[in-house]
Structures are given as C-alpha cells and as structure tokens.
Chain A
Amino acid sequence: MGAYLVRRLATLPLLLLGISAASFTLLNLAPGDPAEIVLRQRNPAQLPSQAEVEAMRTELGLGAPLPVQYTRWVAGALAGDLGKSYVTERPVVAQLARRTVPTALLTAAALALALLVAVPTGILSARRQGSPADAVARLAALVGAAAPSYALAYGLIILFAVKLSWLPALGYGSAEQVILPAIALSLAPMAQLMRLIRASMLETLGQDYVRTARAKGLSEETVAMGHALRNALLPVIGAMGVHLGYLLSGAVIVETIFTWPGLGQLVVGAALTRDYPVVQGFVTYIAVVVLLVNLAADVALRVADPRLRFGREER
C-alpha cells in the first residue's frame, strides 16, 4: 500500500506538468495577440496603437520564447502565484480561492442528493428486476441522462420560482438558494450512478458467494444488504473521480444560470473575454483537484477491497 501510494504520488507532478503545459501551449498558440486582447478588453472603445501593444507585450512578458514563459509560469505556480487576470488585473490565485467555497458547496450538495436518490433506487431496481418499479427507475434514469442541465435548470426556475414562487431563482447566500441549482446539477450524475449501482448490484447478486449465502438459508434481506451490497458499491467508489469531473463540468453551466459565484462562472467569463491567465489557472487547479480525488478514490477502493490490495502487492 505504501509503495503504491508513493508511486501514485510521484506521477502526480508529471501529470500536472503535462496538463498545464498542454493548456499553456494551446492558449499561447491560439490566434490573436494576448497583448491586443488585453488592451481591447480594458478599453473596447478604441483600437490600441502599435506602441501600446508593444508596451503591453513587455509588461506581460510575452517577448520571451514560449518555453521560457512556461518555465516562468511554473516557477510562479510553485510559489503560489498563477499570474494576474488580464481583465481585472487581480491575482488569479485569490480569485480561484474566493470562488472555491461556493462551488464546493454546490457540488457537495448535488453529489449528496445524487447518492441519496441513486443508491436506494439502484438497489431496489436490481433486487426487483423486471418489476414495474424497476421499469420506472430505468425510464427515469434514461430521461435523466438525456435532460440537459441548462434546460432543466430553467424548467426548475420557471416552475418553482416564477410560477409557484416557492424558492428563490437566483443568487447565493441562503440555504434555500442552494436547492434549485443542486437539483439541476445532480440529475445527470444521479441517473448515471443509478444505472451503475443497478448493474453492479445485479452482477454481485449473480456471484457464487451470494448463492452460498442463500443456500445457507439466510433471508434474502440479509443476503442482499449484508453480503451483496458491500461489493456492489465498490464501483461507485471507483467512479467518484469521474463523477466529480461531471459535476464540475455541470457546475460551469449551472453556476452561470443561477448566478452562483463559483469557479464555473469565473471560467466562463474568462473564456468569453479570453482572459488566458484565469483559464490557465483554472485548468491547473481543476487538474489538481480531479487527480487528487481520483487518487483518493483508488486508495479508498484498495482499502475497501482486499482483492485489489493483495493482487497488486504480490507482483
């Protein structure tokens, strides 16, 4: 386990370097001169003069070759400095930090909601395979997977905020304001998790040891909930990293709709104004989070499943 952890941790910096280098290259090779973009953003009324563009290029350090720029960026990143926003001229790190809490709140609420619904539904659906309840759950999962979060979000706003006025439509701050965005965000992962749990539970219920448990005369309840469930939930742990990715992707859209002051809203604004330092900082930040969660999920899986642990260490 220790060796495994060390190996995984050792590859993390490499992965991060890879992702940040890729996005850095991409952003810097993209058409358009960042210096000109910055000047246009700050003063859309007039075209910047050649002298202004040159001055800005020097200010932004764009004169140096790309590898030098990237090395500077990495050195800064290691010291906790991801540069300044082209548009607001505020440090990227401070902006990312300020927006982390709202996004964390929203994704946590959505994930909790998704699990709360998906786990019992998936189990029920698998245990009553072929029943009307199973059919309804599967249909719901199919619909949930096809529903675009943006359309769903507006459906929720129109129904609960405009027509019924039960809940606030937009904004951030109170507990009530979390409800609608969390529902909108949770639906897609909910549908996928439900299908995953159902499939995994069905597979586990067909295993030899489950048959043994049944043959011993244990009640179906004990067999399913005591013996099968633990193994059936393992893929869910493994898929956590992927689902966090879905949630963060979804949050980009949902935050924009609900004017939720999170990372998603920040990066959409930055992408629209071509605020490269913010986009670059965001991509790197998300890479760190996703890679760490993936690692945590893999470690948790090995803790929970001795087969993986021993299988790997024998080699």
Chain B
Amino acid sequence: MRARCDARNRGERVSVPAIGGRARQWRRWTASLREPGTTLGLFLVVSLLLGGLLAPWLPIDDPTAINLPARLLSPSMTHPLGTDHLGRDTFSRVVHGGRMTLLAAITTLALSMIIALTVGIVSGYHGGWPDTALMGIVDLLLAFPSLILALAVAGALGPGLLNVLLAAGAVWWVGHARIIRAVTMGARQMEYVMSARVAGAGNLRIILRHIAPNIIGPIVVIASLDVGWIILGIAGLNFLGLGAQPPTPEWGAMLNDARPHLQTAPRLLLIPGAAIFLAVLGFNLLGDGLRDLLDPRTMHRPEQVIRPEQVINRLREPEAAIAEGSTAIRAEPGRG
C-alpha cells in the first residue's frame, strides 16, 4: 500500500513537470527579471512618453535653431549634451527626436495593425479561398527579410519620413495576420459564437461582439513587443537617409547627420545611438512584462481542453462554411 502510494506520488511528481514544467520554467526565467526589468522598462517608456508629449512646452532650446558660433560645444550647464555641427542643442534634439520616434512608431503600428486585423479576421473567419490567397501572400512575405522589403518600398516612393512609415507599415503586418487568424479561427468555434449565430446575429456583430474580445489580449502583447523593433527599423531607414530629412530632429537622421564628425565629436553619434537603444530596451522590457501578464498561451489554456461539442463543430465546419458563404461575404470588413 505504502509502496503504491509512493509510486503514485512519484508518478504525479514526474508527470507534472512534463506538462506544467515549461510554464513554471518560463515563469522562473522571467521572474528574476520581471520586477526590476519591467520597472526599468516602464520608467524608460514613461520618460520617453512624457518627453515626447511635452517636448514643445519644455524649457529647452529650439531643436532646429542654428547657431554657428556655438557649434560642436562640449556639454555644459547651458547645453547639457553639448551642441552639434550647426550649433543646435543636442539635448533638445534628442527630446524632440523622441517625440518624432514615438509618433513614427505609433503610426506604423496602427497602420500594420489595421492591415493585420483585416487580413487575419477575413482569413480566419471566412476561410475558403480568401484564406488561401491571403495566407499565400503572408507566406511569401514572411520568407522575405522585412527591412529589405521596406527599403525597396521606401526606395520606390522616394525619400521622406511619411514614405518610410508607409513602407514599414506595409511590411510589418505579415506575422501578426497569422496570429490574429489563428485566434479568430479558435474563437469562431466557441459555443457562444454558435449560439449568437443561432440567435440571428450577423457576421459583423459576431466579429465585433464575440470574436474581437479574444483578439485584444494577443494584440496588446504583440504591439508592446513590437514597438521596439519598429523603432529600430524606422531609425535604421532614417539613418540610411531614406526617411526624415535634415533639419528634422530624428534619432536615425541625427546619427546620419553626425557621420562626418566621427573623429572630432563622437558624442554626436553616441547620444542618438544611446537614445535609440534605451527606447528599444524600454519597450522590450515592458513588452516582456506584459506578455507574462497577458500571454495568449496562458489565457487560452482552459479552452484548449477539447470538448465533444467542439469536435462536432469542427467536423461540421466545412458544410457550415459553405452554407454561410453568402452572408459571410456580405458582412466581411475591408472588402468591396
């Protein structure tokens, strides 16, 4: 008896890590970084947000005011980070650059999310040939390095910050569409969606009321993990001279501007570089923290238990999709 108990206990102890172990390990590897890391991330992001929002009203110099006699000054009380080759205050340019960076990142994020949501929901909710076609495009784009694609788009449109944002938004949605599609497909099979349909709800209502809430969690996680990458990518394109043109205070463009002064004033390169690094680090840390809170995998765990009804729904799906085809096309968002 005792031995069997032990064996069972041992058995349980052995089987638990196999299922729950990864989650526990995951938690453990984030736990040590979570508290200080997320706090640091929050601090960096909040300072960036505050600086960016308040930049025009802060008691700092005009970021574009040229003052040639005061050029390439070392840091001092009046110019905490010195001045650049045209005598502009570097600190002010960094703060205003943060505003520019935030604006650019948010625009790109919004643009790519709109595309990703449209593609993902149409694909996941409708299925059939639109799904096949859209996912074909997604696979095609996923196989291709996004920065190079953005470079080609920006090259086609010609230099300019808006063009860079369009280019980044146009290539950034690809991976997200996949995730949103998967979540939509999962939500579609829930009983409450079936009952809503039985109750006579239209497709648009089902998508907005019953499917959208499922997508919000993953989107928040994706978005927060993404901002850092977007900032890196956009600053990179700006650095290459494809985006923001002088005298716009933008970190990537500032780096590009300072290239001739590598030997004489390396500070001018290091400061915008550090600004980009800290902004990206901040968003990455915050994103990691948010993911722990809102991880789609943990959120959806109860739903992963497959119930008999779900199996039946899955089996029924092909016919259901055909039967609903006519109405589905009518109510699809982003079409026609």
Q: Which residues of A contact B (CB under 8 A)?
A: 15, 18-19, 22-23, 26-27, 30-32, 129-130, 134-135, 138-139, 142-143, 145-152, 154-155, 157-158, 162, 169, 202-203, 206-208, 211, 241, 245-246, 248-250, 252-253, 256, 267-268, 270-272, 274, 276, 279, 282-283, 286-287, 290-291, 294
Contact = CB atoms under 8 A, between A and B. Distances in A.
Nearest to A188: B232
A315 to B, nearest CB: 19
Which 6 residue pairs across A and B have the least CB separation, nearest first? Answer: A151-B273, A271-B155, A245-B145, A249-B147, A30-B156, A146-B281
Interface in B273-299: 273-274, 276-277, 280-281, 284-285
Contacts of B149: 283
Interface of B: 14, 17-18, 21-22, 25, 28-29, 32-33, 37, 136-137, 140, 143-149, 151-159, 228, 232, 235-236, 239-242, 252, 255, 262-263, 266, 269-270, 272-274, 276-277, 280-281, 284-285
Contact of A272 (B137, B145, B241): B241
A151 B255 contact: yes
**Contact residues of B: prevailing secondary structure:** helix
Contacts of A290: 143-145
B241 to A, nearest CB: 6
Nearest to A267: B151
21 contacts: A19-B140, A22-B140, A31-B157, A135-B32, A143-B281, A145-B284, A148-B280, A149-B236, A150-B239, A151-B255, A162-B266, A206-B18, A207-B18, A249-B146, A271-B240, A272-B159, A272-B241, A283-B148, A286-B144, A290-B144, A290-B145
A283 B152 CA distance: 7
Contacts of A202: 22, 25, 29
Nearest to B233: A249
Given A135-B32, A272-B155, A274-B155, A154 B270 contact: yes
A157 B262 contact: yes
B144 A271 contact: no
A152 B280 CA distance: 14
Contacts of A272: 155, 159, 240-242
Nearest to A23: B152
A270 B148 CA distance: 12
A150 B137 CA distance: 31
Nearest to A208: B18
Contacts of B151: 252, 267-268, 271
A212 to B, nearest CB: 11
A138 B155 contact: no
A294 B148 contact: no
Contact of A158 (B240, B255, B270): B270
Given A23-B152, A27-B156, A148 B14 contact: no
Contacts of A148: 232, 235-236, 273, 276-277, 280
**Contact residues of A: prevailing secondary structure:** helix
Nearest to B231: A148
Q: Which of B14, B137, B140, B144 has the most CB of A within 10 A?
A: B144
Contacts, number: 162
A152 B277 CA distance: 9
A138 B239 contact: no
A274 B240 contact: no
Contacts of A241: 143
Nearest to B17: A206
A26 B152 contact: yes
A203 B280 CA distance: 28
B313 to A, nearest CB: 24
A243 to B, nearest CB: 10
Q: Which of B14, B17, B136, B148 has the most CB of A within 10 A?
A: B148
Nearest to A295: B143
A220 B35 CA distance: 32
A271 B266 contact: no
Contacts of B32: 130, 135
Nearest to A18: B140
Given A249-B148, A272-B241, A129 B28 contact: yes
B39 to A, nearest CB: 14
Contacts of A31: 157-158
Contacts of B21: 206
Contacts of B159: 272
Contacts of B240: 252-253, 256, 268, 271-272
Contact of A129 (B25, B232, B284): B25
Contact of A248 (B137, B145, B242): B145
Contacts of B146: 245, 249
A303 B273 CA distance: 43
B152 to A, nearest CB: 5
B14 A155 contact: no
Contacts of A207: 18
Nearest to B232: A148
Given A18-B137, A129-B28, A253-B240, 13 more contacts: A19-B144, A26-B152, A32-B158, A129-B25, A151-B272, A202-B25, A203-B22, A206-B22, A208-B18, A268-B240, A271-B152, A286-B144, A290-B144
